[in-house]
Structure 1
Amino acid sequence: MSTGNRMARGWIAALSLALACWLGATAGHAQQTADGIRTEPVRVVTVTRPPFSLVEDGEETGFSLDLWRAVSADIGVETEIMRVESFAEMLDMIRAGEADAAVANISITAEREAVLDFTQPIFEAGIGIMVPAREKATSSILGMLFSRDLLIAVAAAFGLLVGAGMLMWLFERRRQPYFDHDARGALFPAFWWALNLVVNGGFEERQPRSPAGRVLAVILVISSLFLVSVFVARITATMTVEAIQNSVASINDLYGRSVGTIEGSTAAGLLDARDMRYRGFSGLDPLITAFETGELDAVVFDAPILAYYVNTAGEGHGELIGAALFRENYGIALPTGSPLAEPINQSLLKLREDGTYETIYRRWFGTSG
């Protein structure tokens, strides 16, 4: 056999082997895609952010997690959910490759995109402002005006008027007919005289005639000026506080107030950009606790999460003001170069087209997405 024939056969064998390897890899990739990208479960990390991610009756649920379940079922993968305490920890796990996907209310930002990959948006949101509910503020006003201390003061004032009137009866009962009654019969006339003295300066025709009565009348008039001034000042101060509390209509009204948000959030970035001082919290629970205990005048955070709070656990505690600020989109975060990106994006498009996304959205938000 000639050397040329042997070389030709060698080349043919090499090409055949290469083609077989390529076909095998392609078939394997196709089979892997058909079987759901991978055989092991996808490690999904999340953080508690109602209504996007929460534990309810021992079950992992929420809008984002329900949407992920629909995606995972569509692309044929199993899921292992890992719940962590903080948002930063969740994103760090994606960067470190300790998780395959992060699902919650994750804003798609340029800074995060530089170190992570994102799917197409799964939710359109914005930053909201929450302040104490007006119903609660009104209740607070009534509580201050009719507090135990104030009621005691009013009762003491009535007692003082009755006592002063009866003392005047004692001084004047033999000097003018108005006070010419026995003790029981003089009770209301004496009280009425003292009340008119305090409010109107007294009766012209009922001026005290005894020296002791005149001294008592002068003391009552001077004391009444002080007591009425204190009462009016208390009401005025309370109404002023109410007016200040209800004057928050936009983010520009938050300067100089106690504002809270979560550290590292897009809301914190917005406040930083406006040079606004705020208290940063590690998580949602301590932030809400500080708001409910009156430590904060306002909370600036993701509008959908604040809306969910004021309509559920926070009903009567807080209310949203103004339109949402800084429109943003949430996405599923993935490690850079993740092979899951394309299948997930295709599935998200499919779920929007077949109505599955709309069904999940209405389940959690009650309106069209």
Structure 2
Amino acid sequence: MLPDMTMKRPWLRLLALLALLLPVLSTPAFAQDPPSSDSSGDTMIVATREAPPFAMRTADGKWEGLAIGLWDEIAQKEGYDYRLVEADLSDMIDGLPRGEYDASVGALTITAEREKQVDFTHAFHSTGFGIAVKSGGPDWLSLLASFFSMSFLMGLAPLILVLGFVGFLFWMAERRRNEEEFPRDIRGLGSGFWFSAVTMTTVGYGDKAPRTPAGKIVALVWMFAALLITSTFTGMLASSLTAGRLGGEISSPADLLDKKVGVIGDSAAEQWLAQDGIASDASFDDASAGLAALEDGEIDAFVHDDPLLRYLLRKSDLGDVRLLPGSFGRQDYGIALPPGSPLRETIDRDLLEQIEGEEWKGMLTRALGDGS
């Protein structure tokens, strides 16, 4: 009965054919495989360079360090297969848009100029620049010259005027009844000046003293006023005879203008100095070479990333080299990726999870000290 009906009604034949094909179409052979986490299956090429303690090579040739460990945690979490290759600083940036590397990891500073060529992740460490100088003794010629500088004389002049005015008041109060110590003639003005000076310095030789009530009142007021004046003058003297004069010629970036300064070529430190009009006179391949040149007297200062300099000086025996207190400018370290990299969002998320943890903070403190 059914064959006859299907022959007479074509639409029934179509339904029968679909009924036969339905089990075949629903089999897994026709289902699409889900995409893998690494669809390409290629090994990522990651560029790095020596920048202790963020990236450094061990004796057996393996790479380790703060940035390397951070990248390895991200790669393990996302299932990235990667291989680290060494590159110079400029190539770590230039090689990304050329397709030579899939990422660059190390102590890479995020700058506007570099951002034009590559994409950076979120910063994983913020710091500044350090200035390394020789640990010399006091520069006595510079110290002596400071006593004759205009700034020192300008600070001394008001003090002399105040001493002269107070001395005049003493003389006016004492010249009639204490003529022996404060004569009525011009010598009395000198005696008043002398008395005001020794009173201010709390020396008090005792060769002169006020005898009149007016003189004693002036002396009492002057004693208390002298305390304030002395502290003010001490501050002015300290600013004139700067710490740089007492401990060397360089105490801030401003002192580098007429000095021979060394940097690493194409580094963020070189760009930072150029912005302030400071020319770098010597270029080095790495920080260790720059510090050695500084110790040998080939340059007057070496400017580089503060945490890198601090780490190297802690691990080295460069006793004649020291870092200026504090850091200067600002740097943010990030991971560099090719422009438009689809991995950026994923890496950013994993990176932030890592650096917000206590383990990362502890690693920074152990590697860089409390000043990390």
Compute the TM-score of the two structures, normalised by the length of structure 2.
0.59
User: What's the CA shift for 1:244?
Assistant: 7.8
Match of 1:48 in 2: 50
- Tell me what 2:343 maps to: 340
What's 2:295 paired with? 292
SS at match of 2:303: strand
How many percent identity over aligned positions?
A: 29
Task: State the Cα distance separating 1:282 from its structure 2 match.
Answer: 4.2
CA separation in 2, counterparts of 1:322 and 1:368? 11
Q: Please point out which of 62, 67, 70 is paired with 1:64.
A: 67
Bigger Cα displacement from structure 2, 41-50 vs 283-292: 283-292
Deviation, 1:73, is 1.6
Which one-letter code corresponds to 2:59 in the other structure? D
Cα distance change, pair 71–319 in 1 and its aligned pair in 2 (3 A): same
Residue of structure 2 in register with 1:320 after alignment: 323
1:314-358 deviation digits (Å, cap 9, x = unpaired): 541321114212112010000011122122111112213443422
Alignment partner, residue 329 of structure 1: 332
Contact in 1 for aligned 2:127/2:332 (Cα 8 Å):
yes
What CA deviation, in whole Å up to 9, does each residue of 1:285-336 have, x standing for no partner? 4323321211111111111111112211154132111421211201000001
Match among 120, 123, 130 for residue 121 of structure 1: 123
Structure 2 counterpart of 1:102? 104
Deviation at 1:37, TM superposition (A): 6.6
Aligned to 1:105, the other structure's residue is in SS state coil
What SS is found at the alignment partner of 1:129? Answer: strand
Is the CA contact (8 Å cut-off) linking 1:47 and 1:83 kept in structure 2? yes
- Give deviations 1:241-276, integer Å, cap 9, x for gaps: x95871311000112111111122121112212222
Query: Shift in Å at residue 140 of structure 1?
Result: 12
1:350 maps to 2:349:
no
TM-score (norm 1): 0.59
Kept in 2: contact 1:38–1:77 (CA 8 A): no
Q: Residues of 2 paired with 1:313 and 1:368: CA distance?
A: 18
Taking the aligned partners of 2:353 and 2:32, their CA distance within structure 1 comes to 29
Aligned-pair Cα RMSD in Å: 3.2
Secondary structure of 1:276's partner? Answer: coil
Letter in 2 for 1:273: Q
Equivalent residue, structure 2, for 1:261: 263
**1:108, 1:329 within 8 Å by CA — same for their partners in 2?**
yes
Of 36, 55, 78, which aligns to 1:75? 78
Structure 2 unmatched runs, 5+: 1-9, 19-24, 141-243
Q: Retained in 2: the 8 A contact 1:41–1:78?
A: yes
Mapped partners of 2:354, 2:275: distance in 1 = 37
What is the rounded CA distance, in whole Å, between the counterparts of 1:315 and 1:301 in structure 2? 16
Contact 1:39 1:77 in 2 (8 A): no
- Contact 2:120–2:334 at 8 Å: present in 1 too? yes
Q: Is the 8 A contact 1:129 1:321 kept in 2?
A: yes
Aligned residues: 247
Task: Provide closer, same or farther for how the CA distance between residues 253 and 124 of structure 1 changes in structure 2, counting only shifts above 3 A.
Answer: same
Secondary structure, aligned partner of 2:324: strand
- Give yes or no for contact 2:260–2:282 (8 Å, CA) kept in 1: no
- 1:270 paired to 2:269: no
**Cα gap change, 1:356 to 1:38, in 2 (>3 Å):** farther
Q: Which runs of 5+ in 1 are unaligned?
A: 10-15, 142-241
- 1:88 aligns with 90
| Residue of structure 2 equivalent to 1:184 | none
8 Å contact from structure 1 (residues 67, 360) kept in 2: no
Contact 1:309 1:315 in 2 (8 A): no
CA distance in 1 between counterparts of 2:347 and 2:253 reads 37
